[in-house]
Copies of this chain bind each other. A is one copy, B any other.
C-alpha cells in the first residue's frame, strides 16, 4: 500500500487522468471523484470522471463545474470502489487497467498494487480531502460541495457511528471553504417527491416483524414501482425504515429489481454484523450497512432472510 504522500506525488507526475466510480454511484463515490477531478483540473491536468449505471439527478450539481475536455487516458484510478464487480458496466474494459485505487472499505478486494485504503475514514471523501491538503490544492467552494456531499452522505449526516472527530473537523473546514451544506443536505436527506411519500406509505403496509421484534422486513415489488410510476433511483433510500423501529436489531429491505431478482439492503445498529450477514449471499459492505442480491420469488427469498436473521441474532 502507498502512503498518501506517495499518492500525492504520483498524481502530481501524471496527466490525462480517468477516475472511476462504483456502479449506481452514491454521494461518496461521486463527491470523491468530482472533487478530485476539479482539483486535478485546477492544477492544470486533464481529468474526467467515468461513472457506471444511472446517476440520480439530485447529484447533477457535483459535475456542473467540471471542464469537459477530450484526451486519451494516461492514468486510471478508482475511488470508493470496493470490488471489481462494483465497476458495473466498466468492469470488462477497466478491471485490469487501474493504476491506483483509493478507498475506505475494509473489505476492499480490487487487487490493485498501488492502493491507498483507509478504513478508519468514514468516507472516501475524507481521504480525498487529506490528499488535496497534501497536494496543497485550494479547496474551492465547488470542491468543498463535492467533498461535503461524500462526508455527509456516507455518515447519514454525521449520525452513524463511523463518524469520527476527523469527520467533524473536515466538515467544519468544508463549511469554512464555503460549501452550501444546507442545500446539499436538503437534497440528499430531506427532499421527497410526492411519489416517494406515496411509496413510503405503501412500504409501511409490507412491514413485518420477526424474532421477538428484533428483525423487521419491508419490501418493494416491480408492481408497486409501476403503479407509482417511479424510476429505479426513486426506489432507493428506504433501507433505514425497518432499522429505525424501536427494538429492531436487524432491518432488511427487499427490492424486486427484475422478476425473481431481489436486491437486499441490511441495516443494523452495529452490534449485529450486517456485512457478515450479506457475505453469506455473496454481498458485502460495512458493519452497520451492507447489501447483497438473492434470486427467487418474494416468499422464498423472504423465508431465506428470516432464517438467516434467526441465526445471526442468536
A201 touches which of B160, B193, B194, B204 (Cβ 8 Å):
B204
List residues of A (135-169) whose CB comes within 8 Å of B's CBs.
152, 157-161, 163-169
A159 touches which of B161, B190, B270 (Cβ 8 Å):
B190
Please list the residues of chain A having a beta carbon within 8 angstroms of any beta carbon in chain B.
Answer: 152, 157-161, 163-169, 171-173, 175-176, 181-182, 185-186, 189-194, 197, 200-201, 204, 207, 240, 243-246, 269-270
Count identical subunits in the complex. 2
* Contact across chains for B244 and A190 when beta carbons are under 8 A apart: yes
Nearest B-chain residue to A175, judged by Cβ: B165
A157 contacts which chain B residues (CB < 8 A)? Answer: 157-159
Known contacts A182-B269, A190-B243, A201-B201; can you find 4 more A-B pairs with CB under 8 A? Answer: A159-B190, A160-B182, A164-B175, A167-B172
* Contact across chains for A270 and B182 when beta carbons are under 8 A apart: yes
Known: A168-B172, A245-B197. A269 touches B159 (CB 8 A): no
For the complex formed, measure the closest distance between the CB of A197 and the CB atoms of chain B, giving whole angstroms.
Answer: 6
* Contact across chains for A194 and B246 when beta carbons are under 8 A apart: yes
